[in-house]
Amino acid sequence: MSQLSPAIRELLARLESERAAEVSRDGQYMLWAAGGTAVLTIIALIVYGELLAGAIPLGIGALVTGMLWLQRGSKTAIKFKLEVLPALLAELAPQMHYDPARSIAEDEFAAAGFFNDIDRYSSSGWIGGRVGDTALHFGYVHAEESYQEPYTDSQGKRQTRTKYRTLFKGIFLSADNNKAFYSRTRLQPGSVNALNNYFGSYLTLEDPEFNAIFKASSDNEVEARYLLTPSTMERFKALHERFPELHAAYRDSRLLLALPASEPFQVDGGDSFLTGELALSLREELQRYLGVVDALDLNTRIWSKAPERTPERATS
């Protein structure tokens, strides 16, 4: 808790008071559900005289009570995220802002060229603005592809049903690059087997270790080598240690990153806010993604490239 600023600690104290009140109400609802279940179970046993009759209301009651337990403090947890995340951003990167109403558009993610045939897509948690001279935005993305699974129905007939598997789950980040360019260059994880030539020819660069980690392709080899200098390759290798299986693309004078991760900024309303652990966890996650700017040295302007204008806030 002492690692947090006085303003954040004051905010947590207020939210904890609200959370405790909500959890207390949720506890009363669970007691009522448990009491109602006990009464209905006894009545069923008396009326029908069979254990199975009592098992039905008991099972329903246990389900309702369990759902109430999982949802305890959920309203305050949402409020925690809406208030604490912007407050942390204001301290870490004052020109960045969190907009829960926005997300990464599917067209923007697909245009990066990381994955083909996206059949189901969702995104949430848009954060954008500027870190130093670098305009950027990022958000959580879950992209899936469909496939047909064969099965045998109740009549013994062979059928197929549509199912989905994950192509990517994590953070998609788009940043103004510090070098102007007009080509398309992509870095894929070295473990990827199914490759396409959407970004042109595959390249063998000067760093054998880099070539083992990433498969690079570009529609302009000269410009690709201008972008992927020895120091930049070293930075990507270091970033790979933090985000294994990352994808990167240079296009339209921007750097696009797909950073595999579980859904970020999750808050459990069942835990006390006063320990500061939830706030510290959110801060660490923010630093993890904002730190990409320094990790790739994006604030160093090359050939006097002007900083890009900060994205405007969405209006509702």
Alpha helix positions (H), 214-276: 221-227, 230-242
Question: By percentage, how much of the chain surpasses pLDDT 90?
Answer: 56
Residue-range domain boundaries for the chain? 6-70, 94-295
Q: Rounded to whole angstroms, how far apart are CA atoms 174 and 72?
A: 36
Tell me whether strands 185-189 and 214-218 are parallel, antiparallel or unpaired.
Answer: antiparallel
Q: Rounded to whole angstroms, how far apart are CA atoms 42 and 46?
A: 6
Question: Coil, strand, or helix at residue 206?
Answer: coil
Q: Which amino acid is at 170?
A: G
Q: How much is the average pLDDT of 135-160?
A: 93
Per-residue model confidence (pLDDT) at position 230 = 95
Q: Can you list the positions of beta strands (E) in 94-133? A: 96-99, 120-131
| Alpha-carbon distances, residue 56 vs 34, 46, 175, 282 (angstroms) | 14, 14, 56, 42
Q: Is the pLDDT of residue 251 over 80?
A: yes
Q: Tell me which residue of 142, 120, 97, 122 sits closest to 258, measured CA to CA.
A: 142
Q: Tell me which residue of 167, 116, 108 sits closest to 137, measured CA to CA.
A: 108
Question: By percentage, how much of the chain surpasses pLDDT 70?
Answer: 75
Q: Rounded to whole angstroms, how far apart are CA atoms 243 and 298?
A: 18
> Contact 112/258 with Cβ under 8 angstroms?
yes
Confidence label for 311 from pLDDT (cuts 50, 70 and 90):
very low
CB atoms < 10 A from the CB of 70, how many?
A: 11
Higher local confidence (pLDDT), 19 or 88: 88
